[in-house]
Structure 1
């Protein structure tokens, strides 16, 4: 379950670098030389150890740029839509377009990412999103944008994102030593969490001063930077079986997924959690803030606290390496009961923010340990397919949760709806921990 990205529920082998036998391009040589000079004399603290490995360092820099761009979108995109059509339905159409692309293409992306070189898929994903965002920015800056164009371009962005997610999950283990894999994932989650706080602030300044088009142009530039770092990465190609039919490869990925009880249990757990906890929280939270807490400033404080909790979770996991990762990962998810229960009361904004900080911490701890566990326990040749199945399963019910949370609030009230969400996360966490194959799964970090 990761984070990436739009809010995603419970969810952001050893391979030494190998130089290509072909001569690098002039640009690639220049970038590589620059990075070598910057890092030659540096040895980082243990928690940042993965950055001492060249291939992961390049991947990290690529992800850092694109993650910063991702942090701009939640503010830039809505105001881009509002510059054309201020109706809520207009923004709904645009956001639905991106979700549709993810649902339609994630499974396809998983098969493609296991079949082709993941580096090439990552570059194609970056260039696709660069094209979408740069085109959208140009239309907005030029004053020629229409709603249907934004719907199409956001769908194209979602297509690139659909291929990026499972490919990234499979690519990280190819760029870092096996015993540093959890630290590598923690660094990526920590960076994502940090930019989820910084990105909206920068986007707000850009939107207010020069307009949403320029904020989206900045996002487009981050994908160009990402592609330039990824193109320098050299990994030993993994031996892959001869390509079979698409459906056969998808069935093989599903077989790997369902053969591991802890994995499909997470899929069910995540789907229900997205539906019953996160969706009500992010639909009804702003309603409670508007009615009882003073409006947008209160909600902004609460959301920022969630990002801060995610940062703290990432910092902790730079050093903690549990022997039974899911036994450590799952209990903190019960902390998500705090923000929804406090919103149900509602408590004062600082107290809700404190609870949200705890919830962000718990979700990040789970996401990081779970993704590392998947990367260690699932064979590399099936990893992207399994990740795409998990992504689809985890997010399948979230759109229904968004739609039904408002209806439930009209019938039983926001407070009762949120209280039920808090109860569900506590009960479901206890149920998942009662499954032996989940709590007894051991880390494969050697």
Structure 2
């Protein structure tokens, strides 16, 4: 095993600006469902309205991600981030305006905000590769994910405290301010991106073709999608039920979710300094250990075992995420990086709602134990199957030239 150089990526002003911008966007993204949850508690909206608004945001995200992937490869990534952030910033006050007055207005504004979020993600991924030197990207990606995990851990309490001082509408407007920061803070990239002049569909297909040229990427994306669509969805539905019915307390639910975030923090710190020789296989193993989460809910174990399983799952997911992002930034043609990244987000995150929609009725029909058992098997088996693809060992694409044969 190898350790990464000790130089801090935060000594780079461009990266610090990029990190601050992505942190602001992550906080704004996380805050919306939590704030709307507070609105349900104070009866400004009902549970049905909450579901409609969050579904609209997801639709906006999924619709915008592939479009933004093409645009961020045609034009400067900084410009795409700017306009995406401004769009989300403008939509946030409209959600506040519709609160308790118009579900339609809230849903449309949430879809627009989701589109801004979806447009930012591939552009941020590509911009990171421009701003950060190749030998520092693993640390940079670890720093990015650390900000997400710290936000998840700390922000609920801070938001609840703010809710004592200001109302829900003001908090929603505050997410617009965060999006404004996400739009304005990131630096300019270094790549000279030139508009291709070709049709959108042709550019998108070119991105798919580029992704297909990296077998490790297809295998890893398939495994990630399977784990998110089954494991994440199953535990999201089953954990509250198991916490209530088996242990008779909400403490297990809160403890497991907190443990997952703390585990992810540990994983991010670890992978920031450690480069395994077979980093792809280590990453897939980390992804696979998420299977311990549904397995712990399946078996009649003490509550501390459930919490421990979520710690392990959290460590594992960051052992996967950071090398995955770094490998994509290193191996994919820089001219197509945003398009390939958009496919990543589109499939992995896009199928999560589908998984939730199928898992909940499956648990109602078959009961939680068979569903959790199937999901645990998928979480273990999908990354193991992906590891059978040779290039997943290091998340590196071996061309015929590199292998000693004629070049493409």
TM-score for the superposition, normalised by structure 1: 0.83
Corresponding residue of 1:375: 329
Contact 2:216 2:396 in 1 (8 A): no
Corresponding residue of 1:364: 318
Name the CA distance, whole Å, in 1 between partners of 2:71 and 2:81. Answer: 11
Corresponding residue of 1:200: 156
Shift of 1:339: 1.8
Corresponding residue of 2:94: 135
Name the CA distance, whole Å, in 1 between partners of 2:28 and 2:59. Answer: 21
Name the CA distance, whole Å, in 2 between partners of 1:155 and 1:81. Answer: 19
Shift of 1:158: 0.6
User: Quick check: 1:84 aligned with 2:44?
Assistant: yes
Q: For the structure 1 residues 219 and 47, does the alpha-carbon distance in structure 2 shift closer, same or farther, using more than 3 Å as the test?
A: farther
Shift of 1:386: 0.7
Corresponding residue of 2:170: 214
Shift of 1:353: 1.6
Residue 185 of structure 2 aligns to a residue whose secondary structure is: helix
Name the CA distance, whole Å, in 2 between partners of 1:347 and 1:90. Answer: 37
Q: For the structure 1 residues 236 and 275, does the alpha-carbon distance in structure 2 shift closer, same or farther, using more than 3 Å as the test?
A: closer
Shift of 1:266: 2.1
Name the CA distance, whole Å, in 2 between partners of 1:62 and 1:52. Answer: 16
Contact 1:72 1:202 in 2 (8 A): no
User: Quick check: 1:251 aligned with 2:205?
Assistant: yes
Corresponding residue of 1:438: 392
Residue 253 of structure 2 aligns to a residue whose secondary structure is: helix
Please, which of 58, 76, 79 is the counterpart of residue 99 of structure 1? 58
Residue 275 of structure 2 aligns to a residue whose secondary structure is: coil
Name the CA distance, whole Å, in 2 between partners of 1:338 and 1:102. Answer: 30
Point out where structure 2 has 5 or more consecutive residues left out of the alignment: 399-408
- Deviating more after overlay: 432-441 vs 358-367: 432-441
User: Quick check: 1:261 aligned with 2:215?
Assistant: yes
Corresponding residue of 2:233: 279
Corresponding residue of 1:397: 351
User: CA offsets, 1:45-72, max 9 Å, x none?
Assistant: 9556111112111111222233333342
- Aligned ranges 1:190-339 → 2 under 5 Å: 190-230=146-186, 233-240=187-194, 242-339=196-293
User: CA offsets, 1:390-435, max 9 Å, x none?
Assistant: 2222234322211121222123211231122112211222211122
- Deviating more after overlay: 330-339 vs 371-380: 330-339
Shift of 1:193: 0.7
Q: For the structure 1 residues 103 and 208, does the alpha-carbon distance in structure 2 shift closer, same or farther, using more than 3 Å as the test?
A: same
User: Quick check: 1:152 aligned with 2:108?
Assistant: yes
- Deviating more after overlay: 373-382 vs 312-321: 312-321
Corresponding residue of 1:181: 137
Residue 123 of structure 1 aligns to a residue whose secondary structure is: helix
Point out where structure 1 has 5 or more consecutive residues left out of the alignment: 1-44
Shift of 1:239: 4.4
User: Quick check: 1:70 aligned with 2:26?
Assistant: no
User: Quick check: 1:161 aligned with 2:121?
Assistant: no
Q: For the structure 1 residues 324 and 238, does the alpha-carbon distance in structure 2 shift closer, same or farther, using more than 3 Å as the test?
A: farther
Corresponding residue of 2:402: none
User: Quick check: 1:115 aligned with 2:115?
Assistant: no
Corresponding residue of 1:422: 376
The number of equivalent residue pairs is 394
